[in-house]
Structure 1
Amino acid sequence: MYYGLISGLLLFSGAVRASGLQVSPISLTLQARQNASGLTLSNSGNNVVNAQVRVYHWSQNNMRDELESSRGLLASPPMIRLNPGEQQLIRIIRTKTQSQDVAAVEDAFRLLINELPVKSDDKKTGLQFVLSYSLPVFVQPKGTKKIGPKLQWSAQTQPNTDQIKLKVSNSGNGHAQLAALSFVDSNNNLTEINKGLLGYVLPGSTMHWVLKISPATLKKGGKFKVLMNGTQTIPDITLENFTH
């Protein structure tokens, strides 16, 4: 749930109503000496939108994302009401409790922006769609000039399946955003594995994904391609258990 847009259904009044809640930008980075940034919430629909902004510290343990309530960043205001066509700037403020200043690695947070149900005077029964967004916020450490990931890649066959498990470890001091993963075999045939966002690997963390690509395809030889932080990269992937 942490990477994309989440839509939910609430049994509510009125005909089916789609939310007009929009958020821009979809990610933030606070530089080392930057104390605040901002994002804009807007209502492009025809109904009033109430929304709540919550801040969570984001870490990765045991190859899983973990979120914990945090006051390392503050959202101001945390609650908003938008009439149709209105916009609201939300300031994201770095607080004194944010201890990453003395560390040499980037810190990560998630902003969960939830639309809240609005009571309607319409007595007809139906459904109302409400939206939630999960936005990454990266906080750069002070005193470190170069921030970036350093990745180690490996792929393993999955027993009794036509899939492989891709494992990526990050020993660098910045995050890696991975997207548009593909494989080009020795005959220059392209296999698109994941067209959109694959996921993130935070500093000091390891993540894995099960890929729908046949081990037989990889045995023929070739190379992976991936967008890492928006730049196309050819990763050096160690293939494990590909002897059969």
Structure 2
Amino acid sequence: MGTLRQLLVLGLLAGAGVLAPASSLAGLFSVTPVRIFMAPKDRAIAVTVTNEGDDELVMQADIYSWKQKPDGADDLALTEDLILAPPIIKLAPRSRQVVRLARLSPAIGAEQQTYRLVVREVPEAKPADKNVQLQIALAFSMPVFVTPPGAKPQLDCAVERAGADVVRATCANTGTAYAQPREFTLSSAAGQKLAVRDSGGYLLPSIKRSFDIKRADGRIPGGSAKLAVTLDNGTTLSFDVTIGE
């Protein structure tokens, strides 16, 4: 699925001041694949961690069960359903290592099981540098999906006016696997494109989330309209909607 080079900065601050780039220290790494898909029959899958920088890196991996709260916010809890072997990764500059993500517990039920694999730098493992006032720990959180046969999303969306130039699309996933909208396109009943939003988010099974879609050039007219939702797998769902005046 490619390599993610723009990583989440956790930022371990020694003070409240803003420091110059020369006063900070951070490693750079990438992980592939960026999303992990497993079937119930899979016992393990390969994950590659690459040190993109010129300094040695020490990485630590943790596995979390991944749920979502009713509003779509992530709810993570450490789990032993899966393990990454080895859990501590030491990488020389410009090197890579293949590790194994293994499943310890069997998949249960007809609903997709969802996890997060978080690989983070251990900055304390680096030698102290008196010229560095700030150490930044880099981390990457990737989704892991264990999908039983027949599990699939079922997305239903509706809209309501949230402002003169904004509508709010609320989507509910009533299926048994995740859905991830990537783009929302609102058009008039005659086919005129009114507003577009090119970002979305995960909806795990039984989750409902809302996404605001803003028109760039004026008011969104009321009346009958169509909402097209493009998912991460390239499919597009179309919904007939009504926008209030």
Could you state the TM-score of these two structures normalised by the residue count of structure 2? 0.81
What amino acid is the match of 2:118? L
- CA distances 1:98-150 after superposition (whole Å, capped 9, x unpaired): 4x33x011111111111121433432134444321110100022xx3x23111
| Residues 167 and 25 of structure 1: CA distance in aligned 2, closer, same or farther (over 3 Å) | same
| Residues 189 and 163 of structure 1: CA distance in aligned 2, closer, same or farther (over 3 Å) | closer
- CA distances 1:174-201 after superposition (whole Å, capped 9, x unpaired): 111211333344463463312x4x1111
Q: Say what the alpha-carbon RMSD is for the aligned residues.
A: 2.7
Structure 1 unpaired stretches of 5+: none
- CA distances 1:20-63 after superposition (whole Å, capped 9, x unpaired): 21111100111131111121111010111111111111112312
Aligned match of 2:115 = 109
- Residue 73 of structure 1 pairs with residue 79 of structure 2: no
Alignment partners' CA distance in 2, 1:173 and 1:218: 35
Could you list the runs of 4 or more consecutive aligned residues of structure 1 that deviate by over 6 angstroms after TM superposition? none
What is the correspondence of 1:37-52 to structure 2 with a 5 Å cutoff?
37-52=45-60
| Residues 71 and 161 of structure 1: CA distance in aligned 2, closer, same or farther (over 3 Å) | farther
Contact 1:152 1:237 in 2 (8 A): no
What is the correspondence of 1:1-244 to structure 2 with a 5 Å cutoff?
5-11=7-13, 15-64=23-72, 65-96=74-105, 98=106, 100-101=107-108, 103-118=109-124, 119-141=126-148, 144=149, 146-158=150-162, 162-185=165-188, 186=190, 188-189=192-193, 191-194=195-198, 196=199, 198-213=200-215, 216-217=219-220, 219=222, 222-236=225-239, 238-239=241-242, 242-244=243-245
| Residues 184 and 18 of structure 1: CA distance in aligned 2, closer, same or farther (over 3 Å) | farther
The alignment partner of 1:122 has SS state of coil
| Residues 91 and 222 of structure 1: CA distance in aligned 2, closer, same or farther (over 3 Å) | same
Deviation at 1:220, TM superposition (A): 6.2
Q: Which has the higher strand share?
A: 1
Alignment partners' CA distance in 2, 1:187 and 1:165: 19
Deviation at 1:14, TM superposition (A): 6.5
The alignment partner of 2:127 has SS state of coil
Aligned match of 2:18 = none
Alignment partners' CA distance in 1, 2:27 and 2:215: 37
Bigger CA drift: 178-187 or 87-96?
178-187
Alignment partners' CA distance in 2, 1:130 and 1:219: 48
Alignment partners' CA distance in 2, 1:227 and 1:88: 35
Alignment partners' CA distance in 1, 2:221 and 2:84: 46
Structure 2 unpaired stretches of 5+: 1-5, 15-20
Could you state the TM-score of these two structures normalised by the residue count of structure 1? 0.81
Alignment partners' CA distance in 1, 2:240 and 2:77: 32
